[in-house]
Structure formats: structure tokens, C-alpha cells
Amino acid sequence: MDDLQFKDFRTIPASDDPKFWPLDFMADLMSTIGDLPDGSSIKHYGYQIWLGQNRGHTFSSMNGLHGQYIVMVHDLDLVVVRTGFSQPKGNRRNLDVDVYHTIDFAMDTVGALS
């Protein structure tokens, strides 16, 4: 987010050197897989990153095995990291319901702070 820039510090140096992750690599990861040869379409998964919408905001999520999440709500410049351990409680729109609870909690907390 913010073109990998934080204040005056660039988190990954701008370079054509292939050892640095190019921004388009992450953009590719967050693009939907789309149509498959069998005619089905996957719009909730983008090459290792889950994709979804919550409360009108698009998000991408990297999910660990036991309830660890890194969730990015792009238009809010919001990144949520959850390190807890939990058992899945069910799915909503192809993702564990805790992903949505985590996003709701973060959005409500940020809203209360502003």
C-alpha cells in the first residue's frame, strides 16, 4: 500500500534488480484466477491470496492454518494482522467467518478512533 512507501522510508527500494519484488508481482497475486478450462470461474481466490468484499470494501487476505490472518482493506489503507489460534466456525462467501469478524472489528475500531 502507498507504493511501498512509509513516510520518508521506502520499504522495498525502487530498482529494476530482480531480487526486489516488483509491484506488478503483488498485483498479479491479487487478481482473480477467473475462468477455468472446465468452464467454472474462481472470483474469490487470486494465486495464494483470498479475495472478497465486506461492508462495501474490497479486501485481500492471506490466511494461516489456525486462524492467523493478514487482511488488507485497500481503499481504507487498512492492514489487519491476527495471530490468534482458533478452530474454523464455518464459511461465508468461501472464507472462514472469522476473517469477516476480524475485518469488522478493525473497521469499527478505526472508525471509533477517527
Quote the pLDDT of residue 110: 84
Quote the pLDDT of residue 5: 66
45 — pLDDT class (breaks 50, 70, 90) = low
Quote the pLDDT of residue 31: 62
pLDDT reading at 23 higher than 60: no
Task: Decide the pairing of beta strands 41-42 and 34-35.
Answer: antiparallel
List CB contacts of 107: < 8 A, sequence separation 6 or more: 55, 57, 73, 76, 78
- Cα separation values, 17 from 2, 20, 53, Å: 20, 6, 34
Q: Which residue has the higher pLDDT, 41 or 89?
A: 89
pLDDT reading at 102 higher than 60: yes
pLDDT reading at 74 higher than 80: yes
